[in-house]
Structure 1
Amino acid sequence: MSYSDIRLSLLWGGDVGGMMKFYWLLIMLMLLVACQGTLPTAQPGVRPTYLLQQLPESDLKQRLQACQHNTFYRSDFSIAHRGAPLMFPEHSLESYQAAITMGAGMVECDVAFTADQQLVCRHAQCDLHQTTDILLRPTLAEKCSQPFVAADPTTGTSASARCCTSDITVAEFSSLCAKMDGVNTAAQQVADYVKGTPVWRTELYTQCAKPMTHQESVALFKQQGVKMVPELKQAEVPMPFNSRYSQQQYAQQLVDDYKASGVPPSQVYLQSFNWQDIEYWLTFEPEFGRQAIWLDERYEQPGFDAMQPDSWQPSMQQLKDAGLNIIAPPLWVLVTEQKGKIVPSRYALAAKAAGLKIIAWSLERSAPLKTGGDWYYQSLPLTATDDSAVLQLLDVLAQDVGVIGVFSDWPATTTYYANCLLNPKH
């Protein structure tokens, strides 16, 4: 035994092996702390504090207040819905950067295609008239599927237009300015029609925000180190487009963009409302398909009831048996009220029992709840009477339903919650 071994033996009661194990554990702990210290920090800003002030006195409020002065980190629980469209034009560079700054660990690009069959980030294929300045650009406005039509007060006809990504090329799309979603349906002039931002949002950050192609979003997200949650949007033109571009080619092109950029499947969560898209990825791109997200809209089926499993077709078990691993319904489907409390719905319990992971959508998509009911909170008529319900609902989703992530129009709130109560660093 060497002199150093004798010293270790004296310090550790004769057990040199135990002492070495202790040192290895200490080294691993130091490495873990060092790795945590390199995680990207987040800036949740003032909105979580604003919501906390409205929250009734409770254990939840105390626990959330206790971490107000902590350092916050990026979290995969925080999923950016279209970026941060509560204040920034959706699917724009500025909106994505704001979401990442607020700590979103996963960021969404809704995907549509252009006339030259290139993929771009848009919530709907035919929403350019309400999310960009295309109608203010005469040469591009002429290409819209339906040009601007003024409101007619005498007949009660609303102003309208229809401009699609498939009406223009990707170069023309990239020349546009993204704006806050909304139109003024009472407008007589185009300039007034595009001014339709809801009063509870803001136009403070709309100085010609940059729209993003899908490939640009991939490059940005890869550079920023966030995971990618693209949604293949439903085509609003007959498919195959131009008699040659099929739905399957559309679904494959989305995956090919990630392969070409060297993004591993583990960083990508493909989404679609269209079950045939999910089946396609499961069959032809299984590495990407195994964490594809089916956006569940079975609530539109006649007779659907979130509390009645017999009303869901197909069943949760059938979905799991088909290869689905992640399901994503709207917020209200996952919860209900019971004796004055928010509790998981039978839908949520059945999804978990079948082994499905759950993602919810979309928090803070709503007008202030004190102004009245909202579609996203329709199963909580007694609870969702002010914005403190945002935090109450989030807590039930995380702790009782067990969702793995929540889409939000303002990711700071989900980032704040995740740091405080799911994966606190302090």
Structure 2
Amino acid sequence: MSNPARLALAALLCAVPFAGAALASDVQVGPRPGFLVGKMADRALKDKLMACMGEPVDKTLFSIGHRGAPLQFAEHTKESYEAAAAMGAGIIECDVTFTRDKELVCRHAQNDLHTTTNILATDLAGNCTKGFTPATADGKASAECRTSDITLDEFLTLNGKMDAANSAAQTVDEYMDGTAKWRTDLYAAAGGTVMTHKQSIALIASLGAKFTPELKSPSVEMPFDGFTQADYAQKMIDEYKEAGIPASDVWPQSFNLEDVLYWIENEPEFGAQAVYLDGRYSDNGFDPLKPETLKPSMQELADKGVRYIAPPIWVLLTVENGKIVPSAYALEARKAGLNIISWSFERSGPLNSGGGWYYQSVSDVISSDGQMYEVLDVLAQDVGIAGMFSDWPATVSYYASCMGLK
């Protein structure tokens, strides 16, 4: 059978599960892996991925649902988590923040309700830190609504939507209608089911997946009504303990190194898999090609008990002689014995003209979606990452299953 014919058949087979048919595997990857493989240059990697077309795809810990599956589902909603699990994500993320009554909920930021929910179209809009302001000739439309502006009961009345806002809006309806053209409102139009952290634990466990909660930086000054940062970090872990979830199934994360060190010291079983989300790329002087710019160093992190580090994709890669290769940052992390997780696949839209923020260190050699699996292959095989966050886990699950990554 010719390659085009095999590809057409494989794409059809991959699409079948979404239509409700049963295969040997419960994982449903749809047509996207076949589409991406079809865009690849004719090389050994393409042949390998083509050979897996039509084969069952296994659930894998390598595939991490970043906020669920927010490429097409409203992030941090029941529907988004269910979609991530259906696509083979072995680990699913709940970003954790807190409400006015100090209850934990799943949101990417404490102050994102105006872009991720329908709060501005409800009576709760009056509770927002900053109400809606229409765009003017001199400024963009704006609003700021925090989970800490409302109680848990009030939060649960909201509907999740695709994370977006129209900065040119004159009305609330226009402001809420800003979804990027390469995403869709198809699965979010009816409203997504927002979730507490406890609810996410129960749901993700029922889906047969494991957990990577991220303790988000508060938008409010801490302590908040007596609720300290340590209380916050501890409460997140306590909810897994109360649910009977073993520490080995949880990878708690934070951009705040002090949170990670708190878990290592006070909850060592959970701290053993605590993930330091490395945001030092925003520091002046940071250069992933010069490990000496990293403070603390990779070895110093390891000496403090940190075992997992998670930078964005571009920090781990560079270009040498026209080829994508591991950066000095990646090599230094491996030298220190750190496990590496990266983020976030399928978050840039089409990879035309360099691929955007997540691919900035290799933009000179990125020109199409056909290179998506090439990037993932370098990260998996040469950098040696332990997992990849993805906004559409099917893409990563397909690769991982084909390559035998558990």
Please, what TM-score do these two structures have when normalized by structure 1? 0.88
Whole-Å separation in 2 of the counterparts to 1:281 and 1:222? 22
Change (3 A) 1:371 1:135: farther
2:218 to 226, 229, 235: 235
Whole-Å separation in 1 of the counterparts to 2:151 and 2:228? 18
The question of 1:98 aligning with 2:98 is answered no
Secondary structure of 1:361 counterpart = strand
Whole-Å separation in 2 of the counterparts to 1:172 and 1:283? 35
The question of 1:65 aligning with 2:47 is answered no
Runs of 4+ in structure 1 off by over 2 angstroms are none
> Does the 8 Å contact 1:111/1:214 carry over to 2?
yes
**Match of residue 310 from structure 2:** 328
Secondary structure of 1:72 counterpart = coil
1:131 to 116, 124, 127: 116
Q: How does 1:336-347 map to 2 (within 5 A)?
A: 336-347=318-329
Note the C-alpha offset of 1:389. Answer: 2.1
The question of 1:252 aligning with 2:234 is answered yes
Q: How does 1:14-413 map to 2 (within 5 A)?
A: 41-137=26-122, 139-153=123-137, 156-206=138-188, 207-242=190-225, 244-370=226-352, 373-413=355-395
Whole-Å separation in 2 of the counterparts to 1:359 and 1:372? 22
Secondary structure of 2:369 counterpart = coil
Note the C-alpha offset of 1:373. Answer: 4.3
Whole-Å separation in 2 of the counterparts to 1:75 and 1:41? 12
Q: 1:252-306, CA deviations, whole angstroms, 9 ceiling, x for partnerless residues?
A: 0000000110000000000000011011101110000011000001112211111
CA RMSD of aligned residues (A): 1.3
Gaps of 5+ in 1: 1-38
Q: 1:175-215, CA deviations, whole angstroms, 9 ceiling, x for partnerless residues?
A: 10100010011111111110010111000001111011100
Secondary structure of 2:374 counterpart = helix
Whole-Å separation in 2 of the counterparts to 1:372 and 1:355? 31
Secondary structure of 1:382 counterpart = helix
> Does the 8 Å contact 1:132/1:178 carry over to 2?
yes
Whole-Å separation in 1 of the counterparts to 2:405 and 2:151? 44
Whole-Å separation in 1 of the counterparts to 2:149 and 2:126? 10
Indicate the structure (1 or 2) with the bigger Cα radius of gyration. Answer: 1
Note the C-alpha offset of 1:43. Answer: 0.8
Whole-Å separation in 1 of the counterparts to 2:25 and 2:98? 33
Secondary structure of 2:362 counterpart = coil
Q: 1:90-117, CA deviations, whole angstroms, 9 ceiling, x for partnerless residues?
A: 0011100000000000000000100010
Whole-Å separation in 2 of the counterparts to 1:81 and 1:171? 26
> Does the 8 Å contact 2:69/2:81 carry over to 1?
yes
State the AA in 2 paired with 1:69.
Answer: G
Note the C-alpha offset of 1:385. Answer: 1.3
> Does the 8 Å contact 1:44/1:412 carry over to 2?
yes
Secondary structure of 2:97 counterpart = strand
Q: 1:42-92, CA deviations, whole angstroms, 9 ceiling, x for partnerless residues?
A: 111111111111111110000000000101110000000000000000001
**Match of residue 8 from structure 1:** none
Note the C-alpha offset of 1:167. Answer: 0.3
Larger deviation, residues 294-303 vs 398-407: 294-303
Note the C-alpha offset of 1:371. Answer: 5.3
Change (3 A) 1:349 1:371: closer
State the AA in 2 paired with 1:103.
Answer: G
Whole-Å separation in 1 of the counterparts to 2:349 and 2:139? 26
**Match of residue 10 from structure 1:** none
**Match of residue 24 from structure 1:** none
Whole-Å separation in 1 of the counterparts to 2:355 and 2:370? 14
> Does the 8 Å contact 1:159/1:184 carry over to 2?
yes
Change (3 A) 1:371 1:187: farther
Whole-Å separation in 2 of the counterparts to 1:181 and 1:279? 31
Note the C-alpha offset of 1:229. Answer: 0.3
Note the C-alpha offset of 1:423. Answer: 3.9
Whole-Å separation in 2 of the counterparts to 1:149 and 1:60? 50
State the AA in 2 paired with 1:129.
Answer: H
> Does the 8 Å contact 1:233/1:272 carry over to 2?
yes
> Does the 8 Å contact 1:366/1:376 carry over to 2?
yes
Larger deviation, residues 373-382 vs 271-280: 373-382
Of all paired residues, the percent bearing the same amino acid is 52
Note the C-alpha offset of 1:249. Answer: 0.3
> Does the 8 Å contact 1:83/1:409 carry over to 2?
yes
State the AA in 2 paired with 1:198.
Answer: A
Q: Name the count of aligned residue pairs.
A: 383
State the AA in 1 paired with 2:68.
Answer: G
Whole-Å separation in 1 of the counterparts to 2:402 and 2:347? 22
Whole-Å separation in 1 of the counterparts to 2:349 and 2:52? 27
Note the C-alpha offset of 1:339. Answer: 1.1
> Does the 8 Å contact 1:383/1:389 carry over to 2?
no
**Match of residue 28 from structure 1:** none
